[in-house]
Amino acid sequence: MSQTRNMLLTRIKSLLKKIPFLIAIKRHLWLGTYKLAKIVFAVLRSAIWAPLFRTHTLRELVFDTTPTSDLLLANTGKEVFVISAQDRSISRMIYSRGVKDFESVERVVKLLAPTHQKKLLIDIGANIGTICIPAVKREFFKYAIAVEPEPFNFSLLQTNIHLNGLAKEITTHNIALGESANQEILFELSETNFGDHRIRTSDKAGLHGESTRKTVSVKSERFDDLFPNLDPNETLIWIDTQGYEGYILAGASLNLVKNIPLVVEFWPYGMNRSGSFPALKASLLGKGYTSFYDLETQDGPLPLTEENLQNLYTKIGITSGFTDLLII
């Protein structure tokens, strides 16, 4: 028993030395006995069952016990991000695990043709900068243009660009892209997932409480009007707009005929809700693009055909997951 107790105490001491967790406990004392007990229990649990111990688990607990009105500073080791504790998705992931989604960017860079110069990244739906900032700071691309319509995300995006010393390398636009220009369109806001803000295309009840979301008005522009002179040998377009991708591509026909490589989120639920899947197919097929890679499963290259896109749409289903596609 004495040996077991000593082993337990040694593990607890080691844990507390490795993670500045006492600071977190002190900070959150005001949250009450219940939340403090959850933190202490997590420390003891991690110490007793060593296989369960992960630094990211403790960081998740710190994030989860931070008041939702607070902003936090997340350090990935290569970048720093100001994040919101209200965002239980992207911000929580960055704080606990870093920019894991950036693995997709690294994969895309390897898949691009050797002749592609990788100078400019256009990040549509940039959120708070988790794609464009590391892409430039880690020197995968020289420059980036970030487009983010939601005002609060946009303010964090600009802050993070300056914090990482990239104000000259990354320019920003606080607008939405779509089929038409100079329109005021509604943008619906998720209260807990700041990566799931979307252009409102339906008032019907959805799986994620869409019909009850608050909205803000944002200005729309066409991709071709905003970016008239892109070089396909230097540019990569990255679009993650929660099912609205087809409509953005409908406003980019002049650039698509140049066969600029692009990454698009492929989310059947979002496309089904917005009705954008036909627009996505019409924008991509017959424009000179020949193949695509599924960045989630790493399948490819697959022929870019209507049949293959429809098969992928059916395989993922309209109530489940998503992937990202590299179109070349």
The predicted pLDDT at position 4 comes to 56
pLDDT tops 60 at residue 41: no
Q: Tens of pLDDT along 87-142?
A: 999 999 999 999 888 899 999 999 999 999 999 999 999 999 999 999 999 999 99
Q: Tens of pLDDT along 239-285?
A: 999 999 999 999 999 999 999 999 999 999 999 999 999 999 999 99
Question: Which of the given ranges, 7-16, 101-110, 120-129, 178-187, has the highest pLDDT on average?
Answer: 120-129
Q: Which residue has the higher pLDDT, 234 or 19?
A: 234
Nearest one of 111, 29, 95 to 63, comparing CA atoms: 95
Domains observed in the chain: 1-55 (no CATH), 102-327 (3.40.50.150)
What is the number of helices (H) and of strands (E) in the chain? 14, 14
Give whole-number Cα distances, 196 to 6, 172, 193, 315, in Å. Answer: 48, 20, 5, 22
The whole-number average pLDDT for the span 142-149 is 98
The predicted pLDDT at position 153 comes to 96
Calpha distance 133→169 (Å, rounded) = 9
Residue 320: both structure tokens together:
């489940």
Nearest one of 240, 282, 235 to 255, comparing CA atoms: 235
In this prediction, residue 13 has a pLDDT band, given cuts at 50, 70 and 90, of low
The predicted pLDDT at position 47 comes to 46
Give whole-number Cα distances, 78 to 130, 139, 313, in Å. Answer: 12, 12, 36
The predicted pLDDT at position 14 comes to 58
In this prediction, residue 57 has a pLDDT band, given cuts at 50, 70 and 90, of confident
Q: Which residue has the higher pLDDT, 63 or 51?
A: 63
The predicted pLDDT at position 204 comes to 84
Parallel, antiparallel or unpaired: strands 198-199 and 214-221: unpaired
pLDDT tops 50 at residue 49: no
The predicted pLDDT at position 50 comes to 37
pLDDT tops 50 at residue 19: no
Residue 195 Ramachandran class (φ > 0 left, ψ -120 to 50 alpha, else beta)? alpha
In this prediction, residue 209 has a pLDDT band, given cuts at 50, 70 and 90, of confident
Q: In what side-by-side order are the strands of the sheet with 235-239?
A: 170-173, 143-147, 120-124, 235-239, 262-266, 323-327, 291-294, 299-303
Give whole-number Cα distances, 253 to 55, 212, 223, 262, 265, in Å. Answer: 46, 34, 9, 13, 18
The pTM of the full predicted model, rounded to 2 decimals, is 0.82
Q: What letter represents residue 196's amino acid?
A: D
End-to-end CA distance of the chain: 64
pLDDT tops 80 at residue 65: yes
